[in-house]
Amino acid sequence: MINRIALVIQYDGSGFSGWQNQKDQITIQGTLEEKIAELEPSGPVKVIAAGRTDSGVHASGQVVHFDSSGPIPIHKWASALNGRLPASIKVLEAVNVATDWHACYSAKYRRYRYSIFNGSYPNLFLQHICWHKYKFLLDINLMKHALDDLLGMHDFAAFEKAGSNRSNSMTTVQEVSISRDGDIVTVEIQASGFLYGMVRLLMGQLVAVGEKRLTLKEFKHRWRKGLRSEVKEAAPPHGLCLIRVGYEPKIFSKEKSFDTFPAFSLPIFESSKKSKIFKD
């Protein structure tokens, strides 16, 4: 009997060359498939993900599926894999799903969080999960206006990296938010799907708006007209985390699949308010 098993997983993407298998590279997909094969008597399996994260990007709520014909009970798969996987990958939950259920195609949305440390001085403990932007105090009101304009179904070709195999660059942005808590600026974007490299290219432009190097009018013109050649800045991967994938009906426990990536809070130090480093 074949069982289709869905996993919700976390990973620190720092030491991996992204999700997708690549020759002579260490990837999350390859590592998972290797460890599942150790437990699966039928031999190698293919693991399908809800989203193919780039090299260095993290996930706290990635969802994957694979087919198994082995004797391991469904509820034992999480502990069995966690005993074999490296510390940088954890399985939070394993559930049985229908054989036509698909981690990618059955998803109603994906939600990403991008974290920026906007303090004047470095923070060693945040440097692999936040983009440190210290020269300018980001104007999150301007950034919010830019984000709000993205809501709805649009052609986001301006925010698509070369190499995509999609037939078009249309997608629907369902929710956006930006907040500042002390020196931490957090942006969350939920969409029906994301183009290849979309969030990092968008964040590069958004930060340029927040630093007042790019006007709202220029920002809107670039993406509305699909001017990919003018979108030259991509945010670094380590600030990005896939925090949730949504399905109807829900298949995972809420506490296992929602917001398990911490939202950080740091006070704005006096030096940050009118820092000699920050420029108006």
Residue 50 DSSP one-character state = S
Helices 140-148 and 198-210, axial angle in degrees (round to 10): 140
Q: How many CB atoms lie within 10 A of CB 222?
A: 18
Using the CB atoms, write b or e for 204-214: b if 16+ within 10 Å: bbbbbbbbeeb
Neighbouring C-beta atoms of residue 82, cutoff 10 Å: 15
The number of beta carbons lying within 10 Å of the beta carbon of residue 136 is 17
Residue in this structure with the two tokens 């991996």, named with its chain if needed = 16
Q: d(Cα 73, Cα 67) in Å, to the nearest integer?
A: 13
Active site residue 181: no
Q: Which of 12, 24, 54, 259 is catalytic?
A: 54
Q: Give the DSSP H/E element, type plus range, for residue 60.
A: strand 58-68
Q: Distance (Å, rounded) from C-alpha 165 to C-alpha 195?
A: 10
**Which residues form the catalytic set?**
54
